[in-house]
Chain A
Amino acid sequence: QVQLQESGPGLVKPSETLSLICTVSGGSISSTYYYWGWIRQPPGKGLEWIGSIYYSGNTYYSPSLKSRVTISVDTSKNQFSLKLNSVTAADTAVYYCARRIDGTSHYTWGQGTRVTVSS
């Protein structure tokens, strides 16, 4: 059974870059059956889709975050990553990495990691 685990700094300063890694175990990130993505949840609020990547490197981003987001994949480490630049307090959230089965709306989630933007 696949497991996804987020890792990265829990505190980021305003205007800096938020960087997170998702490590996939129990399955290959190079599988043609899945897309890999990031979703966030600000404190006390709903979920927001950030973007996703296919193992080939094709990326897809939320229009509202596209100018600040980069998602990349490292197949040799079975990991994919998120970079969000020029962060503000509004980017404070729990960040989840997730796997979506291609051709469906089925997401499987990591446990999430809390990131606070503060000086």
Chain B
Amino acid sequence: AQSVTQLGSHVSVSEGALVLLRCNYSSSVPPYLFWYVQYPNQGLQLLLKYTSAATLVKGINGFEAEFKKSETSFHLTKPSAHMSDAAEYFCAVSRTGTASKLTFGTGTRLQVTL
């Protein structure tokens, strides 16, 4: 069975500050890991994915995440937050990557303040 834990249902940062959203996973097989972003009243958009290649993954909008097997983590970071980054972020894991259901964390709402 696979699961994802996102620590912190709400995170608030100042504009220009570092963004760190935490994700830990549990998987009995090598996982495929994803971060999605959801803006209000919209569907989910893929930010980045880990598919067993490079452990440091760069995504859209300046976000990146590092796969750390020893810590079973896949935390999402961005060096400098923008107001437009305010949204809900979901970490997800799948068993095989393609044609496989995603198991999501409960999400972290990011607030960016002036």
A, B bound: no
Q: Which residues of A contact B (CB under 8 A)?
A: none
Q: Which residues of B contact A (CB under 8 A)?
A: none
